[in-house]
Structures are given as structure tokens and as C-alpha cells.
Structure 1
């Protein structure tokens, strides 16, 4: 019996570990462009002078700017050396392959090596990079890139501070236009409080495993675990959906493409948790193992992967950061708690003596 239990628990851990290895590269690649959280709030004050049809906003928790040009004219974003960098036209979005900004803006860190032909003084060479009239890009002028916070923040980290005002020049034909904005330091939340609440919650859900191992309360307790796992799965699906909306994805096709390309593992673990929860509600055979495995994956890939919001004031979702923290805590609670409940039921099953045959 003990060997059976260890084998099943080991299989849960092995499956979760394999999934971790398989998902490590895609998750890291996506996180390089879309931070899981930050303490610097980037905002835009708009375009000056105003241009009807020309709109700008901040996306991905301040990591990118989004410029939509519905003026019917070509508008250029000016690079760091005064050169043409992006060109947003009614026929699509083009980037100047001779502009250093084209390469420096590949990542949020701005650490891409420049090719030999990158020359801000050279004649622009335009290359189409997107259809439509919307461009999204990292811009070092709208970010705080220093490893240490400003002196005012170090002196009073518990207060909000204006870090700097920023501007990005545009060209609308022969006219000079400017995008304006601000970067502010926002004090981070107390991460210990959020982790303490999460731990208490997951212990409470895990305790259902003790009830689920007993009779006659076992069936009802297992159903409760299944219901909570479904709720956690729904939240786990909603969170990456919010990240894609915050990143500027539009329409069903755009959101779906973003989920499949950048949030696929969080999405899959959320859907898997929903399926395992329904499996438990139906009281199907091997529901214990399904709940334990789905809970472990949910906690790892949809909970721990987004837990940076516990210690960051700005979350990469289009709703208040407090709601984002509650969602991540709920995913961790239901995922880890379901794992504990499933393992406890497996232990109870392995410890139950087999009736002797007569």
C-alpha cells in the first residue's frame, strides 16, 4: 500500500516536473517582453497638438506604447537620434531597418546588438511589419531602466513619486507632433500578507482532503474540492485573457492568437483544472489522481508563474492590481489545496485494508 501511494505521488510530481521543463522556455521568452509586474507606472498624457484619429495608450504594464493612426495620413515615430523609426500608414505599419531604434526596441531592456548597417543618418529602408494602422513598441524614453530606483524613492519608498515626464516626437507630414507622458513610482504591496493569506487558504482547501477520505462526508468533500478546482481553473483562464487584452490584442482572432502564442501553458492548465474538477464532481474513478495532478499544474503554471503581483504595484492586466492579486491567490489556493486533497485521498485509499477473500 505504501509503495502504491509513493508511486502515485511520484507520478504526480514527475508529471508536473516534466511540464515545467517543457514550458520553461516559452514562458521565459514571453516574460521578457511582458513583465509580470512592476513598481513604475507609465501613463500617457496624449498627443500634442491633438490630431483627430491619432490615439496613443500604454499597454503591457507600461512595457509598450500603442499608437493607432486613423487619420488617413502617414505618421512617423522618430527614433532616438532624430531618424525615422516607425511609419504608420493606411496601408500598414513599417519600420526603418536602418534605424538603431528598430533593434534597440526589440526587447524591453534595449540590449539587442546593432547590425553594421544601422545608421540614423542613412536613407530610410522601410519594411512592412504589420497590417492595419496600429503599432506597438518598447520605447526607452517611456521607461525607467536603471537597476536602482531614483534617490527620492530610496529616501521615501513608502510614498508615490513622479520619476520623470517624457516625450516622444512624431511627424505628421511636415508637422511636428509629440506624445507626452509620465513615469511614477508606486509603493509595492506587502507581499508577506498576500502569501500568508494564500497559505491559510490552501491549508483550508487541503483539509477537505481529510474529510474527503472519510465516510459519509467523503463524497460531499470531494465535490467541494472539485467545485473549487473548477473555480480556480476559470480564474486561471481569465488571467491570461486579461494579459492579452492589456497587451493590446483586439477581436476574437487577436486574443486567441495571443493566448496560443504567449499564454498557452497557463491557458491549458486552467482548462485542465476545469476538466479535473468536473471529473471529481462526477465522482469518476481515479478522480483523486486527476485532482492532484491538475492542482499541481494549476499552482505551478497559473499561480506561481504570476505571483510577482504579490510584490509589485502594477499588474499586466486591465483591472485594478488588487483584483489581480486576489485572482492569483485564488489560483494558488485552489491548485495547491486540490493537490493536497488529492494526495490525502490517495493515501487513505492506499491505507484501507483490502477485504479478505473467503
Structure 2
């Protein structure tokens, strides 16, 4: 039987999480086709001829090409048949609704069905789609779209190798500009050591739930689990910020918008783990339940959702790939460990609170008459 305060806390936390999930789900749909990891690395090597104020880069683990134009004049991105596709300039970003690239580039797979009005030979019909000087899009020239690796990679997948050089043509008035880059295969890392580290962390943290809760060692164990869960929450927040930066966010405002958009739920999960860890450090009532619930959310939304990081060479986070793997492994270890410790402590508390079984009183049998 779970005590009444724990039941009330569980109802409040569950309702709050359900509300947050409902708010976060629509936002998470944006950028949903960005990969959680890949073994193909796309890079921009040059813009030729070089123009001050015109920059290009790859974002979202290679999923999109970003072009920023601060030259003060319009620059057009050419589509796959040489037609105008995007126009980026002082007035914002415009797309040509007659260009097939407008529709093909809406998904990373490029499998959108073309509407009847898509005709690369037709005069452009421009439609304003964004403010600002930057545009990001899936460009098939920078991606490997096949389900199987290239033949040279299949022959030797353990070696880094160049797949192709690519070019995305631009036009500024009568001038032709090229964004040049490369697409390489990077051998995937071995995920086994990371799984071992996460499992060992889970066992060590979860074992804290076996320490009797009413003792001084039990109090120290509770605080230790809370501190480690809070660190896991900090790691989840760091990963979320890194993912927003990898998606092309710039400045504090851009990062905040990214956090409140597609990454809102993961951010809230990390913050919830930090709060639950602080709750346990303060030895508040219901701390065991908070540890178990926050740990489960951390594992589901910040750990399992990013498992590809452990086995992919290119990860959707700014910074070294090995740092992303350390973060995900620590999230898995602290989250699962907090779940195990919290559940074990709850079980022990419920067993101690259970009233002792009453044994029926034995009535002596009447003696037989003599």
C-alpha cells in the first residue's frame, strides 16, 4: 500500500508530465526528419568565388545545408535542373513554387510527390517563407540517399573514405557562385564499451536502494542517488543545448528558441531530473518516488531517444562525438540506476509500513469429564 502523500505526489507529477508532453509534442514535429546519428559526414569546403557576407555550412548532423547571405543583394540557389529554387536576400527567404526542388527537399529522403505546377522550365513564382538572411534545406547533392552503402564502402567499411565531391550552384545577378563540399564515410564506433559503462553505472547506483532507508547509511545513499540523478539531468540539458547548436542556432536568443521548439521535451526531462535530485538531497517526503519517476523519464526521453549516438560516427550535437557518447551513457546509467534505487526503497518502505499479521488466539479444548 503506497502512503497517501506519495499517491498525491504521483497524481500531481503525472498530470504535470502529461500536460508538458501535450505542449511539447507539436513543437517536436519540427525538424523531426533530422537524423539521430549517421556514418556519412558532409562538409562545406569553400564558396567560390569567395564573397564577404556569404557563408555556407552543414547543420543537423549533415541533414541540411545552411546558406546565410549578408551581402546586401539577392542570391539564388539553383535547383536540380538548373532552375531558381531559393532566393535569399535583404527581403528574407523566398522559394520558387514551380521548382521541383521546393517539394523534393521537404524530406531528407526526397520522396515527396511533385504537384502538377512543379515545372523547372516555367518562370519562377516566388513565395516568401522566412524572415532573416538564412535558409536551411535538405539538399540531395550533399546527402547519401541510398539504403545501402556505396560499393567502395561495402568492400571496406572499416576505412574512412571519400564518397564524392559535391557542388551546389548559386547565382547573384549574372554571376555564378559555387558552394563546394565533400561527403565522406566514417566507420561507426564500437557501442559495446558504452553499454558496459552504462550497465555498470546502473548496477552501482541501483544497489543504493538496498541500503535500509531509516539508517544513516540509507540517508547518505539517498543523497548520493539524488546527486547522481541531478548530474544526469545536467548532462541531458547539455546534450539538448548541443543539439540546438548543431541545428544552426546562433546567439542566446537562437538557442532559447531552439530549446523551446523541437527540443522542449528533452529539456524538461533534464530539468525534471535535476529537480528530483535536489528533492532527494533535501530528504523531502516522496523523494524515492520522485527519483524513480524522474529517472524513468530521463531514460526514455534523453537516453533511449539518443541511442544512435553510441553506434554512429557523426552525431547531432556540437562538439566531439565522444563527448556525446559519454553524455548518453551517463544519462542511461543515472536514469536506470535512479529507477532501480527508487523502486527498491519504495518496496522496502511499503513492507515496513505493512501491519504485522495477526495470529488467531488458540482456545484450549475442554477437558473430557472424568
Q: Normalising to structure 1: TM-score of the pair?
A: 0.91
Q: Secondary structure at the match of 2:230?
A: helix
Q: In 2, distance between residues paired with 1:194 and 1:19?
A: 34
Q: Secondary structure at the match of 2:35?
A: coil
Counterpart position of 1:229: 229
Counterpart position of 1:253: 253
**Residue 300 of structure 2 is aligned to residue 300 of structure 1:** yes
**Change beyond 3 A, Cα 1:16–1:197:** farther
The alpha-carbon deviation at position 192 of structure 1 amounts to 2.0
Counterpart position of 1:118: 118
Map 1:35-46 → 2, pairs under 5 A: 35-46=35-46
**Residue 202 of structure 2 is aligned to residue 202 of structure 1:** yes
**Change beyond 3 A, Cα 1:267–1:353:** closer
Structure 1: runs of 5+ lacking an equivalent: none
Asked if 2 retains the 8 angstrom alpha-carbon contact of 1:16 and 1:297, the reply is no
Q: In 2, distance between residues paired with 1:142 and 1:169?
A: 12
Structure 2: runs of 5+ lacking an equivalent: 357-370
Residue-by-residue CA offset, 1:62-118 (whole Å, 9 max, x unaligned): 101111111111111000011000111112111111111011111111111111111
Instruction: Pick which of 44-53 and 19-28 moved more.
Output: 19-28
Map 1:68-79 → 2, pairs under 5 A: 68-79=68-79
Residue-by-residue CA offset, 1:5-36 (whole Å, 9 max, x unaligned): xx99x99xx99997999699659745642211
Q: Which of these two proteins has the greater Rg computed from alpha carbons?
A: 2
Asked if 1 retains the 8 angstrom alpha-carbon contact of 2:213 and 2:345, the reply is yes
Map 1:257-276 → 2, pairs under 5 A: 257-276=257-276
The alpha-carbon deviation at position 173 of structure 1 amounts to 1.1
Counterpart position of 1:173: 173
Larger helix percent: 1
Aligned residues: 352
Asked if 2 retains the 8 angstrom alpha-carbon contact of 1:84 and 1:99, the reply is yes
**Change beyond 3 A, Cα 1:342–1:104:** same
**Residue 138 of structure 2 is aligned to residue 138 of structure 1:** yes
The alpha-carbon deviation at position 123 of structure 1 amounts to 0.9
Asked if 2 retains the 8 angstrom alpha-carbon contact of 1:46 and 1:55, the reply is no
* Shift >3 Å, 4+ stretches: 1-4, 14-32, 353-356
Q: In 2, distance between residues paired with 1:192 and 1:292?
A: 26
Asked if 2 retains the 8 angstrom alpha-carbon contact of 1:85 and 1:102, the reply is yes
Q: In 1, distance between residues paired with 2:88 and 2:182?
A: 23
Q: In 1, distance between residues paired with 2:268 and 2:255?
A: 15
Counterpart position of 1:338: 338
Q: Secondary structure at the match of 1:55?
A: strand
Counterpart position of 2:327: 327
**Change beyond 3 A, Cα 1:353–1:83:** closer
Q: In 2, distance between residues paired with 1:114 and 1:212?
A: 65
Q: In 1, distance between residues paired with 2:114 and 2:267?
A: 36
Map 1:92-107 → 2, pairs under 5 A: 92-107=92-107
The alpha-carbon deviation at position 152 of structure 1 amounts to 1.2
Q: Secondary structure at the match of 2:178?
A: strand
The alpha-carbon deviation at position 165 of structure 1 amounts to 0.7
Asked if 2 retains the 8 angstrom alpha-carbon contact of 1:75 and 1:170, the reply is yes
Q: Secondary structure at the match of 1:187?
A: coil
Q: In 2, distance between residues paired with 1:126 and 1:84?
A: 10
The alpha-carbon deviation at position 214 of structure 1 amounts to 5.9
CA RMSD across the alignment:
2.6
Counterpart position of 1:313: 313
Q: Secondary structure at the match of 2:188?
A: coil
**Change beyond 3 A, Cα 1:167–1:212:** farther
Asked if 2 retains the 8 angstrom alpha-carbon contact of 1:16 and 1:293, the reply is no
Q: In 2, distance between residues paired with 1:72 and 1:27?
A: 33
Map 1:20-39 → 2, pairs under 5 A: 29-30=29-30, 32-39=32-39
The alpha-carbon deviation at position 250 of structure 1 amounts to 2.0
Counterpart position of 2:368: none
Q: In 1, distance between residues paired with 2:44 and 2:300?
A: 35
Residue-by-residue CA offset, 1:210-244 (whole Å, 9 max, x unaligned): 12636220111101111111111111111111111
